[in-house]
Amino acid sequence: MSEKTVAIVIPAYNEELTICQVMREFHQVMPEAQIVVVNNNSSDRTDELARQTLAEGIPGRVIVERRQGKAAAVRRAFYDVEADVYVMVDADCTYPAKDLPDLLRPVLDDEADIVVGNRHAGGAYCKENKRMFHNWGNNLVLKLINRLFNGDLKDILSGYRVMNRRFVKNYPIMSRGFGIETEMSIHMLDKGFRVVEIPTHYKDRPEGSFSKLNTIRDGVMILRMIAEIFIYYRPTIFFSAAAVAMMLLGLAAGIVPVVEFYQTSYITHLPLAVLAVGCVLTALLCCFTGIVLEGQARGQRFAYEHLLLRHERS
């Protein structure tokens, strides 16, 4: 399809039931690509089976990453693997290799920096995914990110992505675990990368294969993620809302002492007066904090753009 080198990165944690099939299917679709399996502390035969599959004549290698979490596995691959185009796909047979040529085309033709496989286009994900809370949480984060970053994404949590070298080598992965998809989506929107979404098929894990997701743990992670999005990317909104809340609380607490002092020239409700003053001061502090952090966020975006310019010239 192209003279550009392609690396297919497959982070794997206890995927002995599916890893061989995933490797063979992607090799069959794109035999010239190197298959890179990142064994992330698997306690089953994932590592052994992956190496045996590579020995069948499939180009690639197995990387061992001891730091637990999908983000750590992908980070290791992005650091160690050299290629022109990178494909990230899960090792659980949920994403079909037959869709890869369609996802590759915009990146190979330099029409996009990153292509995201949209699982929702045909309704396959909602049909296959039986975890209703996850669907609700995913939609909440999706709408929030699109609103804050003026995006029009349909699937921010897809694990099937194609990226060019420029994006990969200038993407500092800071998240842990499965938060990498959301972080990557925010990064590409916030930094102005060219993004294309292409419909892809999706199927649930085969029988006997178990998901690493947990409803309670991932629900807490979603709430934490929402807070971090506001604090790190839109601090003015977060701290302005906090300032308004504290100011209203301060006004509510200060009504009684103020009225009392106006009528009697004395204040007997001293705790309310102290609370009111504290809330107003906290509101002012939140305002100044939001202004300072917004300036820092703008400075970081400027520095990143400068970094990209230097990367293009090197």
**pLDDT digit string, tens, across residues 37-66:** 999 999 999 999 999 999 999 999 999 999
- Residues 138-152: tens digit of each pLDDT: 788 888 889 888 889
**pLDDT score for 1:** 46
Q: Which residue type sits at 12?
A: A
- Identify the DSSP state of 123: S
**What is the percent of the chain where pLDDT is above 70?**
87
pLDDT, greater one: 127 or 273? 273
- Under the banding of pLDDT at 50, 70 and 90, the label for residue 212 is low
Q: Look at the pTM and tell me if it is higher than 0.85.
A: no
Which of 12-16, 121-125, 138-142 is most confident? 12-16
311 pLDDT higher than 90: no
**pLDDT score for 231:** 84
**pLDDT score for 210:** 55
- Under the banding of pLDDT at 50, 70 and 90, the label for residue 24 is very high
115 pLDDT higher than 50: yes
pLDDT, greater one: 124 or 59? 59
N-to-C CA span, the chain: 27
- Residues 217-246: tens digit of each pLDDT: 666 776 777 777 888 888 888 899 999 999
16 pLDDT higher than 80: yes
Residue of 31, 55, 7, 3 whose CA lies nearest to 163: 7
Mean pLDDT of 80-103: 95
Residue of 192, 178, 193, 44 whose CA lies nearest to 115: 193
**pLDDT score for 298:** 83
- Identify the DSSP state of 161: E
Adjacency order of strands within the sheet including 85-88: 60-64, 34-39, 6-12, 85-88, 161-164, 114-118, 195-199
**pLDDT score for 138:** 72
Mean pLDDT of 204-221: 61
**pLDDT score for 225:** 74
User: What is the Cα gyration radius of the chain?
Assistant: 24
> Please, are residues 141 and 105 in contact by the beta-carbon 8 Å criterion?
no
Q: Where are the alpha helices (DSSP H) in the chain?
A: 19-29, 46-54, 70-80, 100-108, 124-128, 132-149, 165-168, 180-190, 215-233, 235-264, 270-313
- Under the banding of pLDDT at 50, 70 and 90, the label for residue 125 is low
**pLDDT score for 214:** 57
**pLDDT score for 27:** 97
Mean pLDDT of 282-296: 92
Mean pLDDT of 187-195: 92
90 pLDDT higher than 50: yes
Mean pLDDT of 167-196: 86
**Tokens 């064994």, located at residue:** 39
**pLDDT score for 77:** 95
